[in-house]
Amino acid sequence: MIIRQIVRNELTRLVRDLVILTLAVLVLGLLAVSVLTGERYYQQLSSAQSEAEYLSRIQWEQQGEKNPHSAAHYGTHAFKPVSVLMIFEPGVTRYTGVSLFLEGHRQNTASFSLAEDLDASLRFAELTPAFIFTYLFPLLIIFAGFRMVVAEKESGMYRFLMAQGISRNQLIWGKTAALWIMVLVIFAPFFLFGLLVAGLPISAEADLYRYLLLALIWMCYFGIMIHLTIGISSFARQSGTAMVSLLAIWMVITLLIPKVTSNMAASLHSVPTTSEFYQSVRTDLQQGIDGHNPFSEHSVAFRDSVLNAHGVTDVADLPFNFSGMMLQEAEEFEKKIYDYHLDRIQSIHDRQLGVFSLGAILSPGLSMQLTSMHIAGTDIHAFRHFTQEAEEYRIELMRVLNNDLRDNAVGERAIGYVTGRDFFEQNPVLRYERPSKITPSADTIPFILALLSWFIISAGLVGFAASKEEVV
């Protein structure tokens, strides 16, 4: 009853505070703009991608009569379906891209610099709901709440309120509830607007589920900021002190720790440059079979083993095309080399994520960003999942092409063998689908735990402030 009175009083005063009202309207306006521009970008990207995917397949099927291995070099593209949730949380999508070029002998990747991908400051310029929620919304909470308790002490109202027979506990939890309601009142229209603009009620159930989880994660982050704001306001003796302390906390958790963590991750676990990576790959590739060099030591050894196995002395006497077999053998060897080097890069990325876990413990802003990217399916794990599927498809496509050469370019057809549209049309198609279930990876669990811990600890701070006796 008393808490309800305090809440109603606080909300009336907040609504009458022109500064807070202006800020709230501004934030809501920015959210609306960010959703609309995000949706437009999503539609453009989605439609461009669908068109490119269609054209890529047409080009593949209609590339004309060609040796299958020439087709392998001609290459094709794999496309990662764009998640509608990138409207709200684009994550690393803009840096990793949404397509991969697939070709023979080579695994192409979008980027090797995870630290760069995860650097919060790089995302600073993007006006997305995620950006607004990470950086601007906490400021609104701080401006609305930093005076809530301390100003009562400064004005003498605190003693007057206590004289009315209310407890400090009721006062502080009432203020906390009022700030929660303010946040919910601002967040609710955004939530519904985003839901409708993104068409989530009619889209995949998984996306709607992810959207609800995103909302929960954002609310958890706002809750932390609400609790910190009321907690600091309760302990401070002057409004100025509360304001400066809260702004310092905001800077540390949204700017400083993410930046320092990113730099630490990059310096402690540096990723090789692209040229270094390909140089290492080239060096290792020389230790094995080269599908285009039949005179190399490994190619000769492989040819001899095949001839021995079939009891013949010349490749022309084999019942299949030896080049096709050798190209496939080389492809599998090359895959092993690429896998080895890419695994090394991935393990460096994992170690970098370990550093990020430490940063996330210190910064709820960082843990919120990393968790929301994971839920939206726009984090590095989602991209890895796509590249792994794309690689499996690539190796399967190469096998089909090389086997066609092996099986059909024999006898009189061996020289100048070409295949055509009928064959290419039958080639497998990559139909990549994002995982419908959210399975928190081992790397993401620390971020979620850090966020929950911050929520509980910050609520504990309010509880402690509420229970602390204070003579004013």
Partner 1 sequence: MLETINLTKQFNGQVAVSGLHLNIEAGEIYCLLGANGAGKTTTINMLLNVFPPSSGDALIGGLSVTENPLETKKRLTYIPENLALYPNLTGAENLRFFCGLSGLQLGVTEIEGHLKKAGLQPEAMHKRVETYSKGMRQKVGVALAIARSSDVLLLDEPTSGLDPAASNDFARLLELMKDRGAAILMATHDLFRAKETGTRIGIMNRGKLMDELVASDISHSDLEQVYLNHMKS
Rounded to whole angstroms, the Cα distance separating 414 from 423 reads 17
Structure-block tokens of residue 116: 């760069």
Rounded to whole angstroms, the Cα distance separating 259 from 446 reads 19
In the complex with partner 1, the residue whose CB is nearer, 17 or 389, is 17
**∠ CA 456-461-466, rounded to 5°:** 125
What is the number of other CB atoms lying within 10 angstroms of the CB of residue 66?
Answer: 18
Rounded to whole angstroms, the Cα distance separating 155 from 92 reads 48
In the complex with partner 1, the residue whose CB is nearer, 162 or 260, is 162
Chain center to CA of 7 = 38
In the complex with partner 1, the residue whose CB is nearer, 165 or 311, is 165
| Shortest distance, position 12 Cβ to partner 1, whole Å | 7
Rounded to whole angstroms, the Cα distance separating 443 from 279 reads 30
Structure-block tokens of residue 79: 């496309």
In the complex with partner 1, the residue whose CB is nearer, 174 or 258, is 174
**Helices of type H across 311-444:** 322-362, 364-376, 380-408, 421-426
| Shortest distance, position 358 Cβ to partner 1, whole Å | 44
Contacts to partner 1 by CB under 8 A: 1-2, 5-6, 8-9, 12-13, 16-17, 152, 155-157, 159-167, 471-472
| Shortest distance, position 20 Cβ to partner 1, whole Å | 11
In the complex with partner 1, the residue whose CB is nearer, 26 or 472, is 472
User: 23 CB contacts (<8 Å, ≥6 apart)?
Assistant: 139, 140, 143, 144
Place of tokens 């040796």: 67
In the complex with partner 1, the residue whose CB is nearer, 162 or 206, is 162
| Shortest distance, position 162 Cβ to partner 1, whole Å | 7
| Shortest distance, position 469 Cβ to partner 1, whole Å | 9
In the complex with partner 1, the residue whose CB is nearer, 152 or 290, is 152
Overall size of the chain counted in residues: 472
Dihedral sign, CA of 178, 180, 186, 191? negative
User: 384 CB contacts (<8 Å, ≥6 apart)?
Assistant: 346
| Shortest distance, position 185 Cβ to partner 1, whole Å | 18
φ, ψ of residue 149 in degrees (nearest 5): -100, -45
Query: What letters, b where the CB count within 10 A reaches 16 and e where it falls short, cover 425-442?
Result: eebeebeeebeeeeeeee
In the complex with partner 1, the residue whose CB is nearer, 123 or 168, is 168
| Shortest distance, position 346 Cβ to partner 1, whole Å | 57
| Shortest distance, position 233 Cβ to partner 1, whole Å | 16
